[in-house]
Chains A and B, each alone.
Chain A
Amino acid sequence: MSMRRVAVVGAGMTRFVRRAMETPKELAWHASRMALDSCGLTLNDVGGVCIGSAPDAFDGVHMKGEYLSDGSGAWGKPVMRSYVGGGTGVFLGPHGWYHVASGLFDVVLVVAEEKMSSFYPHAQAAFLTIFDHTTERPLEPNLLWIFALEMNRYMQTYGISKRDIAQVAVKNKRNAADHPCAMLGEANITVEDVLNSEVLAWPVQRLDVSPVSDGAVAIVMAAEGVAERITDRPVWVQGVGWNLDTAYWTNRDLAYPEYVERAARMAYEMAGVREPRKEIHVVEPYDPFDYKELHHLEGLLLADRGKAPELTAQGVTARNGAMPVCPSGGLLGVGNPITAAGLMKVAELFWQLRGEAGARQVPGTPERGLAQAWGDLMQVGTVTILGTQRPS
């Protein structure tokens, strides 16, 4: 069966801030309106809406997708909210893709919103409820635990140092200094700053971590034949992949994200990518913690196992390097309103591949980019590959 091709034709985003004045509906509306304006469409052109938002616990709003629906332009329309925890933002790529590729929709509005500041006194506490209610929650785990446990295992397995990892935080926060929506861009931050920051859950320190944030991002996706009428530079969805590992996370090898590899292989196969290190020109892997960018580059087969820190040290992953990684500034620099941060990565590819990324623009003329997110109990990988070439 021949597939119906799908393109991204517009994108919009709010600033990412620690605490937004706007309600979640208003944040979603701002991003949606911007995305539609960016490609000259109105809600009348939109057949369906895809929503992403992470735990309802942040807002204390049950069925948050329903609550967000009018702010996301879905009044009177088919709307569906997909959910794979932190992986949701990039999963909106596959989610929007299958809406359009199915033939049921010509144009969909894809909206990711997160308002973490509503949770009182701190959004971190909401994460207690992600742990197994019987076998883990009574231990009063902190979300930081699982990252610290994974980071420690990763470091031990490959002999990676904290200094190796801190370079990622420095790179991304510096990149973010060029992002107009960023909350943590710092042009002059150093590795020493990261290494001297407060220890939260060793080996995780304050500047290894992305902040809790509020914000929204939206993109517009359209079918072949429609997309070309909306813009002369559609950016095509070339591949999508997603994969969920077992919930028994303590029964897994924490040094390597196999679910990311499986999601990446699914997307590479669809995109016809055989040599990802040569064929992916700009990468936006998920970086809620600095070591995660490294971990994910390895899972994406863009670096050998345990060798991603070397690529960072050599400047390969710098914005002007051979394989720019997180030129946006990533979650570490732009901020981490969870699903919005994931969709921000897809939007960044859209802008980079159209040469519209301004001060963040990577050199050359990138033809293909990959965005990846990760979530749940270190468990899910989601991948969206965009490119300037229409898939054959």
Chain B
Amino acid sequence: MTHPVAIIGVGWSGFRPVTPDVSYKELIYEAAVRAYADAGVDPRRDVDSFVTVSEDFHEGTSIFDEYVPDQIGGAQRPVHTITGDGLHGLAAAVMQILTGRFRVVVVEGHSKASNILTLPHITAYALDPILNRPLQVNPLAVAALEACRYMHESGATREQCGAVVTKNRRNALRNPAAAYGADLRTEDVLASEVVASPLARLEISDHADGAIVIVLADAETARRLSPHPAWIRGIGWANDSPSLESRCWARAVYAERAAAMAYKMAGIGNPVEEIQFAEVDDTYAYKELQHLEALGLCAQGRAGPLTREGATAPDGCLPVNVSGGSLGVGHLLEASGLARVLEVVLQLRGHAGSRQLGDVYTGLAQSWRGVPTTSGAVAVLSNQLGGRES
């Protein structure tokens, strides 16, 4: 696989727990203007297609794609929505460019989670309306069921989950965009109130408002416009069963499959060797551990001990969620996957400020769509074509 698609521009606004000063359109406009300035493109002239990600119930508006074009410069242009995570939107953009008919494609994702007054109810409406919803269980319980089975099979402990929280929230202190930086001890996490055992309050990421816009281009355009293209070497996405009655509760099968697709495209045979750092979904602390194993970045059952030993800290052998992850940055609804990509791009460019990792050339971003889904995506990015040697 050659590397015909690169990220040439990134822009973001937020991330903050509330954003009462701006409408969603104004929030997105700020991110878009930054992204276009970063990429050196004029959206009204240079962009061939726009992809946005959103879910109607998160917006409180049906057919929300009606309201997306203006603030990204997409009016009267090819624009469409993917009702998925930002990484699904990124995959759609990559596919469009790979057809050969599009040179520059833009992806937008955002969160105005603070405007949703009944978010747990909204999440519950994703449960099967006949089989599950009448039980009136908080959808968080679905994550708790999974955490319970995952911990049972992998041997992961609450202390190890707590270590994920302290690491990510501490990492967020070095990320000016992060909403939830904090210097916590594992004991603080374990002592926080249990919401749905084994999940305690501090193991659950809080939401934030924000918007992220990413500009992608084909190889020729990327080389012409960008001093630091981030090449998308591989991308993959997959679902396990949407039904609670027939899914795997211990492993993140969707992430295993999405990673297999992305690694195949990237020509990666041994991810432990070739992936230097990762931004993975950590909506709940155990998810970071489960996802690292699903991605093949460590053996089954090893993510917890490695985290406790500091291997996934910024100065460890596999830095994970240097941005702070969703626990530290804030969960951005559909934009969460783009936040993971954003950090990988900044690190690959050497633009990550005081949290910059030394000499990195290949990173991975991974997303999960949250309970009750089994939907996830993976992207592998590199700042050099063909990895380190080229």
Binds B, one of A299-307, A319-327, A340-348, A373-381: A373-381
Binds A, one of B222-230, B239-247, B300-308: B239-247
Distance A274 CA – B314 CA, assembled complex (angstroms):
58
- Most chain B C-beta atoms within 10 Å of own C-beta, residue among A91, A104, A127: A104
Are A59 and B129 interface neighbours, CB within 8 A?
A: yes
Are A85 and B65 interface neighbours, CB within 8 A?
A: yes
From 296 to 337 in chain A, residues with beta carbon under 8 angstroms from any chain B beta carbon are: none
Write out the residue numbers on chain A whose beta carbons fall within 8 Å of the beta carbon of B82. 80-83
Determine how close the nearest CB of chain A comes to the CB of B50; give it in whole angstroms: 8
B325 CB–A CB distance under 8 Å: no
From 64 to 118 in chain A, residues with beta carbon under 8 angstroms from any chain B beta carbon are: 64-70, 74-86, 91, 95, 97-99, 101-104
A57 CB–B CB distance under 8 Å: yes
17 more A-B residue pairs beyond the given contacts A78-B237, A79-B237, A95-B80, with a C-beta to C-beta distance below 8 A: A60-B129, A64-B83, A66-B126, A76-B253, A78-B236, A80-B84, A85-B65, A91-B80, A102-B98, A103-B98, A129-B60, A129-B62, A133-B60, A242-B79, A243-B76, A244-B80, A377-B66
B45 CB–A CB distance under 8 Å: no
Are B239 and A4 interface neighbours, CB within 8 A?
A: no
Distance A300 CA – B57 CA, assembled complex (angstroms):
33
Are A247 and B69 interface neighbours, CB within 8 A?
A: yes
- Most chain A C-beta atoms within 10 Å of own C-beta, residue among B125, B241, B372: B125
Closest-by-CB residue of A relative to B236 is A78
Write out the residue numbers on chain B whose beta carbons fall within 8 Å of the beta carbon of A75. 239-241
Contact for A104 among B63, B98, B129, B238, CB less than 8 A: B98
Write out the residue numbers on chain B whose beta carbons fall within 8 Å of the beta carbon of A270. 101
Interface string of A251-279 (1 = CB under 8 A from B): 00000001100110010001000000000
Closest-by-CB residue of B relative to A137 is B61
Contact for A62 among B91, B122, B258, CB less than 8 A: B122
Distance A376 CA – B61 CA, assembled complex (angstroms):
12
Distance A159 CA – B369 CA, assembled complex (angstroms):
51
Are A55 and B238 interface neighbours, CB within 8 A?
A: no
A245 CB–B CB distance under 8 Å: yes
- Most chain A C-beta atoms within 10 Å of own C-beta, residue among B77, B242, B246: B242
What are 29 A-B pairs with beta-carbon distances under 8 A? A1-B100, A2-B100, A55-B56, A56-B56, A56-B57, A60-B125, A62-B122, A63-B369, A65-B84, A66-B126, A70-B246, A76-B241, A76-B257, A77-B238, A78-B239, A78-B258, A78-B261, A79-B237, A82-B83, A84-B80, A85-B65, A85-B66, A101-B99, A102-B94, A127-B62, A244-B75, A246-B69, A259-B76, A380-B65
Q: Which 5 A-B pairs have the closest CB atoms?
A: A1-B100, A102-B98, A102-B95, A62-B125, A244-B79
A23 CB–B CB distance under 8 Å: yes
B78 CB–A CB distance under 8 Å: yes
A21 CB–B CB distance under 8 Å: no
Distance A47 CA – B88 CA, assembled complex (angstroms):
16
Write out the residue numbers on chain B whose beta carbons fall within 8 Å of the beta carbon of A78. 236-239, 257-258, 261
Query: Known contacts being A77-B239, A80-B84, is A246 close to B63, with CB within 8 Å?
Result: no
Are B81 and A66 interface neighbours, CB within 8 A?
A: no
Are A242 and B80 interface neighbours, CB within 8 A?
A: yes
A3 CB–B CB distance under 8 Å: yes
B183 CB–A CB distance under 8 Å: no
Are B66 and A376 interface neighbours, CB within 8 A?
A: yes
Interface string of B81-122 (1 = CB under 8 A from A): 111100010011011101111000000000000000000001
B123 CB–A CB distance under 8 Å: yes
From 47 to 64 in chain B, residues with beta carbon under 8 angstroms from any chain A beta carbon are: 55-57, 60-63
Are B238 and A81 interface neighbours, CB within 8 A?
A: no
Determine how close the nearest CB of chain A comes to the CB of B73; give it in whole angstroms: 11
Write out the residue numbers on chain B whose beta carbons fall within 8 Å of the beta carbon of A359. none
Query: Known contacts being A81-B82, A247-B70, A270-B101, is A67 close to B56, with CB within 8 Å?
Result: no
Distance A61 CA – B55 CA, assembled complex (angstroms):
11
Contact for A244 among B57, B65, B94, B246, CB less than 8 A: B65
Are A245 and B84 interface neighbours, CB within 8 A?
A: no
Closest-by-CB residue of A relative to B60 is A133
Are A67 and B74 interface neighbours, CB within 8 A?
A: no
Interface residue ranges, B against A (CB under 8 Å): 55-57, 60-63, 65-70, 74-84, 88, 91-92, 94-96, 98-101, 122-123, 125-126, 128-130, 236-243, 246, 253, 257-258, 261, 265, 369, 372-373, 375
Closest-by-CB residue of A relative to B1 is A103
Write out the residue numbers on chain B whose beta carbons fall within 8 Å of the beta carbon of A126. 62
Write out the residue numbers on chain A whose beta carbons fall within 8 Å of the beta carbon of B129. 59-61
Write out the residue numbers on chain A whose beta carbons fall within 8 Å of the beta carbon of B80. 82-84, 91, 95, 242, 244
Interface residue ranges, A against B (CB under 8 Å): 1-4, 23, 54-57, 59-70, 74-86, 91, 95, 97-99, 101-104, 126-127, 129-130, 132-133, 241-248, 258-259, 262-263, 266, 270, 375-377, 379-380
Write out the residue numbers on chain B whose beta carbons fall within 8 Å of the beta carbon of A74. 239
Determine how close the nearest CB of chain A comes to the CB of B118; give it in whole angstroms: 11
Distance A247 CA – B257 CA, assembled complex (angstroms):
38
Contact for B66 among A2, A59, A91, A247, CB less than 8 A: A247
Are A83 and B81 interface neighbours, CB within 8 A?
A: yes
Write out the residue numbers on chain A whose beta carbons fall within 8 Å of the beta carbon of B61. 129-130, 133
Are B77 and A244 interface neighbours, CB within 8 A?
A: yes
Distance A130 CA – B61 CA, assembled complex (angstroms):
6
Write out the residue numbers on chain A whose beta carbons fall within 8 Å of the beta carbon of B88. 80
Are B66 and A80 interface neighbours, CB within 8 A?
A: no
Distance A23 CA – B92 CA, assembled complex (angstroms):
29
Write out the residue numbers on chain A whose beta carbons fall within 8 Å of the beta carbon of B69. 244-247
Distance A365 CA – B79 CA, assembled complex (angstroms):
35
Determine how close the nearest CB of chain A comes to the CB of B77; give it in whole angstroms: 7
Contact for B83 among A63, A98, A258, CB less than 8 A: A63
Determine how close the nearest CB of chain B comes to the CB of A329; give it in whole angstroms: 25
Closest-by-CB residue of B relative to A81 is B83
Determine how close the nearest CB of chain A comes to the CB of B45; give it in whole angstroms: 15
Determine how close the nearest CB of chain B comes to the CB of A139; give it in whole angstroms: 15
Determine how close the nearest CB of chain B comes to the CB of A134; give it in whole angstroms: 8
Are B243 and A70 interface neighbours, CB within 8 A?
A: yes
Contact for A132 among B67, B75, B92, CB less than 8 A: B67
Are A76 and B81 interface neighbours, CB within 8 A?
A: no
Are A84 and B98 interface neighbours, CB within 8 A?
A: no
Distance A317 CA – B67 CA, assembled complex (angstroms):
35
Closest-by-CB residue of B relative to A6 is B99
Are A65 and B240 interface neighbours, CB within 8 A?
A: no
Determine how close the nearest CB of chain B comes to the CB of A54; give it in whole angstroms: 7
- Most chain B C-beta atoms within 10 Å of own C-beta, residue among A56, A91, A99: A56
